[in-house]
Amino acid sequence: MKAIVTVIGKDTTGIIAAVCTLLAENKINILDISQTVMEGFFTMTMLIDMKECVVPFAEISEKLSAKGEEMNLSIRVQREDIFDKMHRI
């Protein structure tokens, strides 16, 4: 299964490293990544592949959310199929 991870918050050192480490620890592969800093705000979108993931989707979502709270960021993950349906006109 593929999913979309979004990260938004004040820019600080280590955001990409923290998110990528969490994903790697759970055997999640990053297929594509885009990030930018706009006037001090960090934004990142990632396409991830969860087919080798060792824990359920809900647990990954909780882990990412907790990492976001720890770093004062908003980190969300959505299944790719749901993301596609939400953004289809």
Of 44, 40, 38, the residue nearest 15 (C-alpha): 44
* Predicted local confidence at residue 58, as pLDDT: 96
pLDDT of residue 89: 58
pLDDT, tens digit (0-9, with 9 covering 90-100), for 30-78: 999 999 999 999 999 999 999 999 899 999 999 999 999 999 999 999 9
Is 3.30.70.260 the CATH number for 2-86?
yes
Query: Tokens 């930018």 label which residue?
Result: 36
Strands ordered across the beta sheet of 29-38: 29-38, 41-49, 2-10, 73-79
